[in-house]
Amino acid sequence: MTFRTRLTITFTTLVAAIIVVISLFIYFFSERYTRNEFMTRLCERAFIAAQVYLEEDELSRRSFEKVRNQFLEKLPEEVVYIYSKDREPAFMLDTVALNTTDSIFDYIDENQSIEFKMNGRQWIGLSYSDNQGEFYILISAVDRYGQSKLLNLQRVLIICFLCSIFSVYVVGRFLSRQVLRPIAAIVQQVNKIRASNLHLRLQQPGDKDEVSELSRTFNQMLDRLEVSFEMQKNFISNASHELRNPLTAISGEIEVALLRQRSPEEYIASLEILHKETNRLEKLTSDLLNLAQTGFDEAEVRQEEIRLDELAMDCAAEFRQYNLRFLMEQMPDSPQSLTIRGNYSLLRIAVLNVLENAFKFSDNQEVLFELKAREKKVILNVHDKGIGIPADDLPHIFQPFYRGSNARGRKGTGIGLSLTEKIVKLHSGFVTVTSDEEKGTCLSIVFKV
Cα–Cα distances (Å) from 7 to 131, 165, 175, 317, 403, in that order, read 74, 15, 10, 65, 58
CB 169 within 8 A of CB 5: no
For residue 311, being part of any structural domain is answered with yes
Question: Rounded CA gap, 373 and 376, in Å?
Answer: 7
- The whole-number pLDDT of residue 381 equals 93
Cα end-to-end span (Å), the chain: 49
Q: What is the mean pLDDT of the chain?
A: 78
Domain that holds residue 122: 3-148
CB 445 within 8 A of CB 346: no
Write out pLDDT tens, residues 11-29.
Answer: 888 989 999 999 999 999 9
Of 416, 86, 40, 414, residue with least CA distance to 245: 414
Write out pLDDT tens, residues 26-50.
Answer: 999 988 888 888 888 888 777 777 7
| pLDDT greater than 90 at residue 385 | no
Q: Which amino acid is at 215?
A: S
Q: Model-level pTM?
A: 0.46
Last residue of a domain, one of 260, 293, 326: 293
Report strand pairing: 440-448 vs 79-84. unpaired
Domain CATH code at residue 131 = 3.30.450
CA 421 from centre of chain: 33
Question: Rounded CA gap, 138 and 79, in Å?
Answer: 8
Name which of 263-272, 284-293, 305-314, 356-365 the model is least confident about. Answer: 284-293
- The whole-number pLDDT of residue 159 equals 92
Domain CATH code at residue 310 = 3.30.565.10
- The whole-number pLDDT of residue 63 equals 59
Question: Rounded CA gap, 127 and 130, in Å?
Answer: 10
For residue 386, being part of any structural domain is answered with yes
CB 82 within 8 A of CB 90: yes
216/113 same-domain check: no
- The whole-number pLDDT of residue 71 equals 47
Question: Rounded CA gap, 16 and 168, in Å?
Answer: 9
For residue 201, being part of any structural domain is answered with no
281/373 same-domain check: no
Of 377, 353, 381, residue with least CA distance to 294: 353
With a CB cutoff of 8 Å and minimum separation 6, the contacts of 430 are 424, 446
For residue 155, being part of any structural domain is answered with no
24/78 same-domain check: yes
Burial of 15 (0-12, 13-18, 19+ CB in 10 A): middle
Confidence of residue 242 (pLDDT cuts 50, 70, 90): low
271/332 same-domain check: no
Question: Rounded CA gap, 445 and 449, in Å?
Answer: 13
Question: Rounded CA gap, 446 and 381, in Å?
Answer: 9
For residue 159, being part of any structural domain is answered with no
| pLDDT greater than 70 at residue 234 | no
Give me the percent of the chain exceeding a pLDDT of 90: 8
Confidence of residue 199 (pLDDT cuts 50, 70, 90): confident
8/135 same-domain check: yes
Higher pLDDT, 103 or 313: 313
72/130 same-domain check: yes
Write out pLDDT tens, residues 252-266.
Answer: 888 888 888 888 888
Give me the percent of the chain exceeding a pLDDT of 70: 78
For residue 348, being part of any structural domain is answered with yes
| pLDDT greater than 60 at residue 161 | yes
314/236 same-domain check: no
Last residue of a domain, one of 148, 171, 189: 148
CB 331 within 8 A of CB 313: no
Higher pLDDT, 400 or 161: 161
Higher pLDDT, 192 or 434: 434
| pLDDT greater than 70 at residue 429 | yes
- The secondary structure element, H or E, covering residue 228 is helix 210-258
286/317 same-domain check: no
368/420 same-domain check: yes
Write out pLDDT tens, residues 48-81.
Answer: 777 666 655 544 555 555 655 554 566 777 777 7
Question: Rounded CA gap, 423 and 343, in Å?
Answer: 9
Cα–Cα distances (Å) from 117 to 29, 122, 232, 369, in that order, read 18, 4, 87, 101
Q: In what order do the strands lie in the sheet with 440-448?
A: 324-329, 367-374, 377-384, 440-448, 430-436
For residue 258, being part of any structural domain is answered with yes
Question: Rounded CA gap, 112 and 131, in Å?
Answer: 18
- The whole-number pLDDT of residue 58 equals 47
Highest mean pLDDT among 108-122, 238-252, 417-431: 417-431
Q: What is the total count of domains within the chain?
A: 3
413/438 same-domain check: yes
Last residue of a domain, one of 249, 270, 293: 293
127/8 same-domain check: yes
CB 446 within 8 A of CB 377: yes
Mean pLDDT computed over 358-371: 86
For residue 414, being part of any structural domain is answered with yes
